[in-house]
Structure 1
Amino acid sequence: MRKWVVTAAVFAGLSGAAGAAVAQDAVSWRMQSLWDANTTPQKFEERFVARVAELTDGNFQIRLFSGGQIVPAAEAFEAVQSGAFEMMKTFDGYEAGTVPAFYFTSTVPFGFETPDQMEAWFYELDGLELARDAYDDYGLHYVAPSVYGEEPIHSTFPIESIADMAGQKGRFVGLAGQVMAAFDVAVTPMATGEVYSALERGVIDFADRGDLTANLEAGLAEVADYVVLPGVHQPVTATAYVANQEAWDALPRSYQAALELAAREVSGALRQHILVQDQIALAEFQDAGIEVLRLDDEDVQAARPTAVEAWRAAAGDDELANRILESQIDFMRQLGLL
């Protein structure tokens, strides 16, 4: 609550006496997102930049580009770091091989069960500060997360327990790949765009890909007869707004607060939208003859100690990764997850 009050108090400077000072500062940024043009998540990034402009009386304009439009997605980290453009929307897990702390600021397999739990870790505990610490050495500033729910598993065979996955070929990436390997899954990393054909050709038996709506639009009902929930490999997802540190430092504090506030508002709006759309997509999968299977809560709980061992192995001897992991584990224990 204290952090929220401080942010609100600073942001109040956008009206009243500070309004005249804000109006003198015209700022223009460029931002590349993760998403393709005209997709649902990209439309929420459009809402984000529009909200920033609204909160600053039109004086802070962000020109939005879709994923890969300025630079290939894999080069966005270095591009923002160098100042080629000012901000990106990213998934920290993409860089986790270099920065192990990013494993845990993006998603924790078998970890937090709801977006509210992970968002509380960011905003009510020390998650936001720890995420910013992880970016400090790279000339980048972690602005805020977008936190939303699970991604399902799509399978060509029935999965009714964690043990059913052992020995089968599954597509997972990042920390999910390491955790699922601990359950004897034959993990096969691949690009998202390859999942459909890999399921169709039997290269893999089951896969993580994206949220239910995205997977429905991608045609996975045509190549996988089962949807498995909860998505234990990615029960909660956090993407991130990340800015060039020098560009961030040059902003008036009221503009920084506008970015933070708009990010938090859009995070909640996107999460609520996905919650509604997931139910619609799930019904459409069932109408197409897809069977929805649900893992037993006790089975998931029993699997967590194995997942914790995989988390610790991923953190290795990295000091910050272990600080983040211990912070999350402490909160999970308070929540009764561990």
Structure 2
Amino acid sequence: MLIVMKRGHTEAELEEVVREIEKVGYRPHVSRGVETTLVGAIGRGPTPELMEHFRALPGVAEVIPISKPYKLASLEVQPFPTVLEFPTGKTGGGHVLIAAGPCGVESREQTLKAARYVKAHGAGMLRGGAFKPRTSPYAFQGLGLEGLKILAEARRETGLPVVTEVLAPEQVELVAEYADALQIGARNAQNFALLQAVGEVKKPVLLKRGMSMTLEEFLMSAEYILSRGNMQVILVERGIRTFEKTTRFTLDVSAVPVLKSFTHLPVWVDPSHPAGKREWVIPLALAGLAAGADGLIVETHPEPEKALSDAAQQLHEHEFAELMQKAKRLLEALDKTLSAPVLG
């Protein structure tokens, strides 16, 4: 249920409401707006008697049942956009952040070179996989701990925050030690033990949509993370599996505005995986931004033809530079702010 506080309520009244929520076994979530304070009481469906109990508390204006199965992700609980802040800028609420880098961390030289040029062209975050979930057990699986150390070195040199994928609950603590944000890939989007584990850490989580997930299922996966106390979740549309075989996946551009009508969480687009070929990445990226995405996560490699994974879809440096120039012009037209590192 959602408890709407009266305008001009006291802190003592708010604290009493929170205590009463906890007393009946619910979890409180306070959202402070400019004029209104909302308190979500997250738990089983409330009885009419319980709702009346909360209506009678001092400082309470109204008590409303939450209709959505995803509670903490819902705009009902927080009617204004979540804005996440990184050292290089913000995402959400009109701020756009672009993460870029190689699909996999293959070597120190390759990763540092990519980090330098993505920063130079305006990316606000470095992406790179240290642990790689591959369809084939014989394909490149990533460098593991060595890859994490290389990413950390790239962060020290460039100042770019780092996002990298975590594959299992037992890896969360290790990856969180090196990364600024944790990525949950499409194959793990309904790995509930992993979602709960990343919900326990105080690091932003990029949650990619599973290739066969509905949007409600996607939001319920986000709810697993939110329900453990980590409210720093970014939803990433990365393409779904359809009957079309020309592209690797089908980018569901409509998911961006639809999700933003359901949730306060930032919504990003991954144009690389649905494209499957680098010549289609830029148009898909721009389509995602035009649809309202709060960020992009893009694959780029100093020598894509030599990449050990996703070689066909990783952008050359000049192509990434082209994407960034077009994105800047588009975002200006949309009256949005591109978060970018300070060069120096």
TM range (shorter): under 0.3
Higher relative contact order (CA 8 A, sep 6+): 1
- What is the TM-score with the length of structure 2 in the denominator? 0.26
- What is the TM-score with the length of structure 1 in the denominator? 0.27
More helix by share: 1
